[in-house]
Structure 1
Amino acid sequence: MPFYSKILTLLLASVVSFTASAETIRVALGTQDTTINCAAGGLVIRELKLLEKHLPRTGKYENVTYDIQWKNFTSGAPLTNEMVAGKLDFGSMADFPGSFNGVAFQEAGKKSLFINVLSGSIKGSGNGIVVPASSQVQSLAELKGKTISVPFASTAHGVLLRAIRDQGWDPEKDVRIIAQAPEIAGSALKSNRIDAHANFVPFADLFPNRGFARKIFDGSQTNAPTFHGSLVDAAYAEKYPEIVVAYIQATLEANQLLAAEPEKYSELIEKVTGIEAEVNYLFHGPLGLQTRDLTWKPEYRQATQTAIDTLRSMKRTQSDLDAEKFITDKYVRAAFAASGIDYEAALKNYEQLPLTAKDHTTGVAITDTKRVAQIWVKDEPLVRHYSSPEAAFTALKALEEEGKAIRAVYAQAFDSGIKLLATQAWFVADEQGQLKAFLLKGQAEEHAAKAGGKVLDFPSANQQG
């Protein structure tokens, strides 16, 4: 055989041998697309292929082939089942099902790790209780003796139990709690077959936006922190720590995109999930219901321990899972460092996503956000901002006279600061005609009794504006 032919044969053999020995690493991720505040940990990463961008390609990963697998779930429990079974490496879910994930792993003789927060609220906003649109009920206190449905073992279930106990009620005797998934509850609310429904993001705001329910309780009234975050199989993390860091880097980039262009990515979430962009904007827009926060704040650590304790009280486990060992911040700290972001500064930041905007009518910069209102006009890519509800309502009348279709009107709750769908809110008009927004009629009445003013529903406040 000629010399060059021998060399070619040897080279080809070495290539075949190298290719055969190249490692394929699975990266299997469980998402909850319709749980929209998980978007930075799943949907946005997947749709924009951000994980592929950040996965390691050097050192021991130089010749690796990645087998990226995505699987969507409607809740955390089935996602956990597949993680425990070894079918998934990562998963995104709330504090309550996330804690159950840790418990399930432990009971299977394995271990999972809670690696970062995706979105949260130290006040508890995001979860909520709704009643049928035709119901006369205005507050949780009026539900004693009534039937309330909830997805069992969800964060909303934990919030509901805390809210009931805050009323001084016995959850076994004073209310009837039944298990119901969101899609079933929606039909039950429409047909008045249940008195109320408790649910997690986004259903307590989605159902009212669709017109067949009314929100009468927001999780912020419990003042109990809640969040969604990401978990990983601990054995996988030990074997591939660089992949875990890369995943969180992708999450950081997704989070930054959501913060920079909330309307654009609210539209993307609607395209994928069918959940209206105006509801997505409630969470992902400036001054949203929850913060854009990936750090392990003490309140979120405590929320995890509280969830574990609640699981025990519900007799869902006897596990001695320790939240401080279950939670790890080493991967998220490494991802922040690799992305050039100051973790300690983010850890200390409790602010909502800030609003930097000018009043759409006057062009004057908005500096006080306590009474901010916003209008999303159909076929306009950006939400319009106004310094007050009365300014927004004046603009709204002009838009309606022009025949413009309106997607949503937003207001900031004067007491809690959470973003509201203005059409669902109550307002107090003071002697100067200034309007302050509130989630509940009772909250508006209490403020009016203390500070003076007249309580108005949305149509009346809109007319006054």
Structure 2
Amino acid sequence: MSSLRLRVSALLLGAAVTVSLATACGADDDGKTVTVNIGYQSKTINTVTAGTLLRDRGTFEAELAELGKTTGVTYRVEWKDFAAGPPLTAQMLAGQVDIGSMGDAPILVNGSKTREHADVRSELIAVTGYNLRGSLNQIVVPLDSPAATLADLRGQVVSTSVGSAAHGMLATGLSAAGMTLDDVQVLGQDPAVGASALNGDQVAALAQFVPWPQKLVFDGTARLLHDGGAAGIATFHAVVANERFGVEHPEVVTAFLTAQRKTTDYLNQHPLAAAEQVAAATGLPVEVVYLYNGPNGLVHFDPTIKPQLVTALGELLPFLQSLGALSDLDLGEFVDDRYLRTVYGDEYEAAAASVDSPAPLTGTDDACGGAVDGVVTASEVWFTDSETTAVAKTPTCLLRRIGASAASVRAAYVPDHATGIRLFAESATWVSDPGAGPEDRLLPFAIRADAENYAAARPGTEVIDYQAALQAR
């Protein structure tokens, strides 16, 4: 077995585990108390509706308390925090977690590995959040890196979570650039370790999932080199549950998904308040959380299992098999939406078919005038002297609003001109186009090379930085 496959095994499965029914979860000895063990990843903000925010709001416990009035059972919830999906899977294999949330690649490994043991077999029962383009996985480099494209990483050390969707994104991106994983030195590291390695100049690039790439961008220590959405392969996080636990306690699984749906609705209806709660609970900058979880954010929070996401799992499966991470997995058997159908009732089919943004950016543009409802160029600013954000129809209008305010900017968000992905205005590379309309003369790009290519094809345009864009508004 190659050294890469050995690293995959270690990173995806964690420490060796022994399946023991003696430590399995479920009813306590008195038969009147049921302990529910929930595995979550507090800092993976794509899972907050089944983890951090759900726990912080106490919604699941409230559902169980109501359930107990009917069943006469006392329900006790044990929350277990994990840095990533692999150690969570290890604990599911050991019978120590009943319900857990993780990313799409670890989910496939979870489903495959737990199938080897009937008592801990898992099933995918819900989604937490998704991005159909795949923009939840990105590659960043230090600000002073000479790299302009992925081709410039040839022979360099790239940190990633081996076997993750971010690893797959790296492989896909390199392939599009005429390279393979063998053309770089892949270093398997947990996200936080990799972020430290990038800041310490120990690696040339970091390929990771939410929120790590944009946290480094917000910190001012990195810039975006490659967006995973370039491949157009959806990525998401989801909820898996022990199948046996669901058979024994279907009412508990239904209560969990009911609580998750309520938490999702709360996040989509009160995105700024939800971001502040998640930031307080995790220590992550609220501005970064809001980039992903806010209106028009990089994450669409929706528990329903959409056909596009199941298709994406099928596309990811061969990559993980090539790494020796798993043998095979019958997705038709593994994916099960029966609990969600109970929660949603007749609304489920329509909800699962919709990929509209559950939290569109709306409001009135005070700088240029007019409504921003449904406008793909809608932008947003959060001033330090305000507890709410302000909106604008276009990035140019947003810059006018910022320039006209005496307050400093806490964070400003604009859509990439080429792809529409949400990014920090200050970290964007801007293009000035004097020939465009007065509300569209300043265009933000997430990746400098994209801005340069755009400007090179249009005489009269100029690549500028954020401060110059403010002056040119």
What TM-score do you get using the length of structure 2 for normalisation? 0.88
Answer yes or no: is 1:328 the counterpart of 2:328: no
- Indicate which of 91, 94, 102 corresponds to 1:93: 102
2:83 aligned residue: 74
Does the aligned pair in 2 maintain the 1:57–1:64 contact within 8 Å?
no
Q: Which moved more, 1:276-285 or 1:362-371?
A: 362-371
Partner of 1:458: 466
What corresponds to 1:5 in structure 2? none
Quote how far apart the aligned CAs of 1:185 are. 2.0
Q: Which residue of 1 aligns with 2:443?
A: 436
Give the Å deviation of 1:235. 0.5
Q: Which amino acid aligns with 2:413?
A: Y
- Structure with larger Rg: 1
What does residue range 41-440 of structure 1 map to in structure 2 within 5 Å? 41-55=50-64, 57=66, 62-109=71-118, 110-172=120-182, 174-317=183-326, 319-337=327-345, 342-352=347-357, 353-361=359-367, 364-367=370-373, 369-399=375-405, 402=406, 404-430=407-433, 431-432=435-436, 434-440=441-447
- 1:11 corresponds to: none
**3-state SS of paired residue (2:341):** helix
Matched with 2:4 is none
- Match for 2:430: what amino acid? F
Deviates further, 440-449 or 85-94:
440-449
In the TM superposition, what whole-angstrom CA distance separates every residue of 1:141-165 from its partner, at most 9, and x where no partner exists? 2212211111222221121122222
Given the superposition, is the C-alpha separation of residues 60 and 239 from structure 1 closer, same or farther in structure 2, using an over 3 Å criterion?
A: farther
Q: What is the alpha-carbon distance in structure 1 between the residues aligned to residue 68 and residue 264 of structure 2?
A: 28
Tell whether the 8 Å contact from 2:84 to 2:190 is kept in structure 1 after alignment: no
CA drift of 1:290 comes to 2.0
Maintained 8 Å contact 2:158/2:186: yes
The aligned counterpart of 2:25 is none
Give unmatched runs, 5+ long, in structure 1.
1-18
| 4+ runs deviating over 6 angstroms | none
Report SS of the residue matched to 2:277.
Answer: helix
Query: Aligned partners of 1:315 and 1:349: how far apart in 2?
Result: 35
Residue 281 of structure 1 aligns to a residue whose secondary structure is: helix
Identity %: 33
- Contact in 2 for aligned 1:305/1:322 (Cα 8 Å): no
Cα distance in 2 for residues equivalent to 1:374 and 1:315: 44
Shift of 1:314: 0.5
Equivalent residues of 1:56, 1:243 under 8 A apart? no
Q: How many angstroms does 1:394 deviate by?
A: 2.2
Shift of 1:63: 0.8
CA distance in 2, matches of 1:194, 1:88: 34
Q: For 1:221-263, what per-residue CA distance to the aligned partner results, in whole angstroms no more than 9, with x for missing partners? A: 1211100010000111111112111111111111111111111
Partner of 2:453: 446
In structure 1, distance between residues paired with 2:122 and 2:469: 50
Q: State which drifts further: 419-428 or 82-91.
A: 419-428
Residue 390 of structure 1 and its aligned partner are, at CA, apart by 2.0
How far has the Cα of 1:268 moved from its partner? 0.8
Say whether the 8 Å CA contact 2:138–2:209 is kept in structure 1: yes
CA change 1:75–1:199 in 2 (3 A) is same
CA RMSD of aligned residues (A): 2.1
1:58 shift after superposition: 5.6
Distance 1:63-1:368 versus aligned 2 partners, 3 A rule:
closer
One-letter amino acid of the counterpart of residue 168, structure 1: G
- Please give the secondary structure, in 2, of the residue aligned with 1:107: coil
* Distance of 2:143 and 2:97 partners within structure 1: 40
Aligned residues: 439
CA, structure 1 residues 368+122, in 2 after alignment: closer, same or farther (shift >3 Å)?
closer
Deviations 1:379-412 (A, max 9, x none): 422111111222221222233xx3x332111111
Q: Which amino acid aligns with 1:426?
A: T
Corresponding letter in the other structure for 1:228: H
* Cα contact 1:133–1:214 (8 A) shared by 2: yes
Q: Would the aligned equivalents of 1:56 and 1:242 in 2 still touch at CA under 8 Å?
A: no
Q: TM-score, normalised by structure 1?
A: 0.90
1:32, 1:74 within 8 Å by CA — same for their partners in 2?
yes
Show CA shifts across 1:338-360 (max 9, x none): xxx72222222212231221114
Please say if residues 134 and 234 of structure 2, whose CA atoms lie closer than 8 Å, have aligned partners that are also in contact. yes
Query: Is 1:31 matched with 2:37?
Result: no
